[in-house]
Amino acid sequence: MVLEDINVLDLTIARAGPTAVRQLGDWGASVIRISMPGPDDDFASNTTNSDYLNLHRNKRALILDLKQQEGRDILYALVERADVLIENFRPPVKKRLGIDYETIARRNPQLVYGSISGFGQDGPYAEKGAVDQIVQGMSGLMSITGLPGQGPLRVGIAIADLAAGHQLAIGILVALHERQTSGKGQWVHVSLLESMISFLDFQATRWTIDGEVPWQVGNGHPTYFPMGAFKTSDGYINISAPGGRTWKHLCQVLEDLSLLDDPDYLTTELRSRNRASLLERIEAITVTRPTREWWHRLDAADIPCGPVYAIDEVFADPQVQHLGMAVTVDHSVRGPVAILRQSVNMTRTPPQVPTAAPMPGQDRDAILTELGFSPTDIDGLVERGVV
């Protein structure tokens, strides 16, 4: 495995942090998930649900009370052997627990320390907590999502969490690469807010460069049309034919060549400006036939298109089945379960075959034995509530 020589300590909770850890674990890094005793993380309170099982694969698990000095000492011993530590505590919490960057770096200057926060490690909001939906709103994402005039709408996935997790994973890999030259670790930190704003991409630069505030445009592309979802007799189909050859071919497939000569639709800019009337004219035709028939006709004309699936239909699609996006692992409680595989494909060094998410603390004895603790030592730690 590509990262089999990398040891990762996972002190994360919720979704964004574990998402970053998952990227490393999928490529073979040895991951120890360290959780606190008791229900300190509502998100992880059900450790056998589908979300937890998919998010925490490829890990070993240890419960460690970091409020006790003995617990911190065990963590520090693990830090001395680690390459990466990832956490998403608020700044005052990690300082109080003795797991802040400065403290950890003194124990292992070569360690890459990764952090995820809601709003950043400093600044007026640094000590505020945040969850995905809060950041979806504050980043402006909800203002550009949904139908015109319906009010703000959240995206249907925890996209701010996922964006931050993936960006932290990239940053950690960059820091590990740089360490090969400098021999030094460093602090890599991202926030949900920074990550989500960066994911706005061209919608953000419509403001920063052009001074234009984007708004909701529904299922159509913000700046090109026709590109979006159109009603059919039994559902919807996505079509992308905003200009040039595809626009001409679309009119031919729709059997309405009058669209080509209509002065309201002569250019890409006019079609976008007059999208409401053009949508009405196109849907008056698309609603006369089922989705699959339009898919066949449009595809034959080399027009990018595809059905709008429900989730069960996604995994029934022959291409998705061919790609094998769901892989089965054997869980100690749930038995065989299908989790999502790593989406990056590599010819020589593929990601590792996933292992099931561990139950909290299930690898306690093995991990502590590796650190040199005897069975008697471990029993004493258990009695004192350290592990």
Specify whether the CB–CB gap between 50 and 353 falls below 8 A: no
Positions annotated as catalytic residues are: 161
Q: Could you state, in order of their start, the residue ranges of all structural domains in the chain?
A: 7-199+324-383, 227-308
CATH architecture of 7-199+324-383: 3-Layer(aba) Sandwich (3.40)
The per-residue pLDDT for range 302-321, each reduced to its tens digit, is: 999 999 999 999 999 999 99
Specify whether the CB–CB gap between 11 and 115 falls below 8 A: no
Enumerate residues 6+ apart whose C-beta is below 8 A from 350.
Answer: none
At 353 the pLDDT is 84
- 121, exposed or middle or buried, with CB in 10 Å at 0-12, 13-18, 19+? middle
At 39 the pLDDT is 62
At 43 the pLDDT is 57
Q: Please identify every stretch of the chain with a pLDDT value under 50, giving residue numbers as ranges.
A: none
Burial readout 199-219 (b: 16 or more C-beta within 10 A, e: otherwise)? bbeebbebeeeeeeebebbbe
The per-residue pLDDT for range 277-296, each reduced to its tens digit, is: 999 999 999 999 999 999 99
For the entire predicted model, the pTM comes to 0.95
Rounded Cα gap, residues 307 and 238, in angstroms = 6
At 38 the pLDDT is 78
The fold for domain 227-308 equals formyl-coa transferase, domain 3 (3.30.1540)
- 148, exposed or middle or buried, with CB in 10 Å at 0-12, 13-18, 19+? exposed
